[in-house]
Chain A
Amino acid sequence: MARVHNWQIGREMSYWYPESRPKKQFAAVFDTNKCIACQTCTLACKTTWTSGKGQEYMLWNNVETKPYGSYPLAWDLKLLEMLDGGQWSGGTYTGQTIFESARAGERVLSWRPEGDDYAYPNVGEDDCAGTVDGGMSLSMPHMAWFYYLARICNHCTYPACLASCPRGSIYKRPEDGIVLVDQGRCRGYQECVKGCPYKKVYFNPMTGTSEKCIACYPKMEVGLQPQCFVNCIGKIRMAGYISTPENARPDNPIDYLVHVRKIALPMYPQYGLEPNVYYIPPIHVPPAFLRQMFGPGVDAAIAAYRNAANDPDLAGLLSLFGATESVMTRWVRKGEEVAGVDDRGTTLVRVPMTEPVHVRAGFDKIYQVMRSNCP
Chain B
Amino acid sequence: MRRHIVVLVAVASVAAACRPAAVTTPDVVAVMAPAVPESPDDPAWANAPEHVEKLLLQDLVEPRLMTASTPDVRVRAIAGPTEVAFRLEWNDASKDDLPGNGRFVDACAVQVPQRADPNAPDPQMGQAGKGVQIAYWRADWQATVDGRGTTIQDLYPNATVDHYPFEAPTLEKGSAAQSEMARRYAPADAAGNLRGGARTSPVEDLTAEGPGSLSPAGGSKTRGRGVRTATGWSVVIVRPLPDGLAPNARTQVALAVWEGAGKEAGARKMRSGWVALAMRRTS
Known contacts: A47-B165, A191-B266. The answer to whether A112 contacts B193 by CB under 8 A is: no
Residues of chain B within 8 A (CB-CB) of A206 are 150, 152, 155, 186, 196-197
Give per-residue flags for B45-89: 1 if the beta carbon is below 8 A from chain A beta carbons, else 0.
000000000000001011111100000000000000000000000
Q: Give the contacts of B191-230 with A (CB-CB under 8 A).
A: 191-197, 211-214
Quick check: is B190 within 8 A (CB to CB) of the other chain? yes
Pick the contact of B164 from A53, A115, A164, A168 — CB < 8 Å? A53
Give per-residue flags for A209-253: 1 if the beta carbon is below 8 A from chain B beta carbons, else 0.
101000000000000000000000000000000000000000000
Residues of chain A within 8 A (CB-CB) of B195 are 186-188, 207-209
Quick check: is B99 within 8 A (CB to CB) of the other chain? yes
CA gap between A115 and B266 in the complex, in Å: 19
B196 touches A51 (CB 8 A): no
Q: Give the contacts of B139-185 with A (CB-CB under 8 A).
A: 150-152, 155-156, 159, 161, 164-166, 182, 184-185
Residues of chain A within 8 A (CB-CB) of B100 are 115, 203, 205
B265 touches A190 (CB 8 A): yes
Residues of chain B within 8 A (CB-CB) of A112 are 102, 263
B99 touches A208 (CB 8 A): yes
CB distance from A239 to the nearest CB of B (A): 22
Quick check: is A65 within 8 A (CB to CB) of the other chain? no
CA gap between A54 and B211 in the complex, in Å: 29
Quick check: is A121 within 8 A (CB to CB) of the other chain? no
Known contacts: A106-B62, A203-B100. The answer to whether A208 contacts B197 by CB under 8 A is: yes
B102 touches A114 (CB 8 A): yes
Quick check: is B101 within 8 A (CB to CB) of the other chain? yes
Give per-residue flags for A148-176: 1 if the beta carbon is below 8 A from chain B beta carbons, else 0.
00000000000000001011100000000
Quick check: is A200 within 8 A (CB to CB) of the other chain? no
Interface bracket on A: 35 or more
A118 touches B196 (CB 8 A): no
Quick check: is A130 within 8 A (CB to CB) of the other chain? no
> How would you classify the secondary structure of chain B's contact residues: helix, strand, loop or mixed?
loop
B214 touches A187 (CB 8 A): yes
* Interchain Cβ contacts within 8 Å, total number: 138
B193 touches A185 (CB 8 A): yes
CA gap between A209 and B103 in the complex, in Å: 13
> Closest residue to A182 on the B side, CB-wise?
B191
CB distance from A108 to the nearest CB of B (A): 9
Quick check: is B34 within 8 A (CB to CB) of the other chain? no
Quick check: is B187 within 8 A (CB to CB) of the other chain? yes
Residues of chain B within 8 A (CB-CB) of A186 are 188, 193, 195
CB distance from B162 to the nearest CB of A (A): 9
Residues of chain B within 8 A (CB-CB) of A107 are 62-63
Q: Give the contacts of A56-78 with B (CB-CB under 8 A).
A: 56-57
A207 touches B186 (CB 8 A): yes
Pick the contact of A51 from B101, B165, B191, B193 — CB < 8 Å? B165
B101 touches A205 (CB 8 A): yes
Best-buried of A188, A193, A202, A208 by chain B (most CB within 10 Å)? A208
CB distance from B43 to the nearest CB of A (A): 35
A105 touches B214 (CB 8 A): no
Residues of chain A within 8 A (CB-CB) of B189 are 207
A211 touches B187 (CB 8 A): yes
> Closest residue to A16 on the B side, CB-wise?
B62
Residues of chain B within 8 A (CB-CB) of A189 are 265-268
Residues of chain B within 8 A (CB-CB) of A54 are 152, 186, 196
A167 touches B266 (CB 8 A): yes
Residues of chain A within 8 A (CB-CB) of B66 are 104-105
> Closest residue to B66 on the A side, CB-wise?
A105
CB distance from A74 to the nearest CB of B (A): 14
B192 touches A105 (CB 8 A): no
CB distance from A160 to the nearest CB of B (A): 12
A209 touches B188 (CB 8 A): yes
Known contacts: A53-B185, A56-B161. The answer to whether A190 contacts B102 by CB under 8 A is: yes
Contacts A53-B164, A183-B190, A187-B195 given; 13 further ones with Cβ under 8 A?
A52-B182, A54-B196, A105-B64, A107-B63, A115-B103, A118-B101, A184-B192, A184-B193, A188-B196, A205-B99, A206-B155, A208-B194, A209-B195
Can you list 9 A-B contacts (CB < 8 A)? Answer: A51-B185, A53-B185, A54-B186, A118-B101, A187-B214, A207-B193, A208-B99, A209-B187, A209-B195
B: residues with CB less than 8 A from A are: 59, 61-66, 99-104, 150-152, 155-156, 159, 161, 164-166, 182, 184-197, 211-214, 263, 265-268
Give 7 nearest A-B pairs by CB, closest first: A52-B185, A208-B195, A208-B196, A105-B64, A189-B266, A184-B191, A207-B188
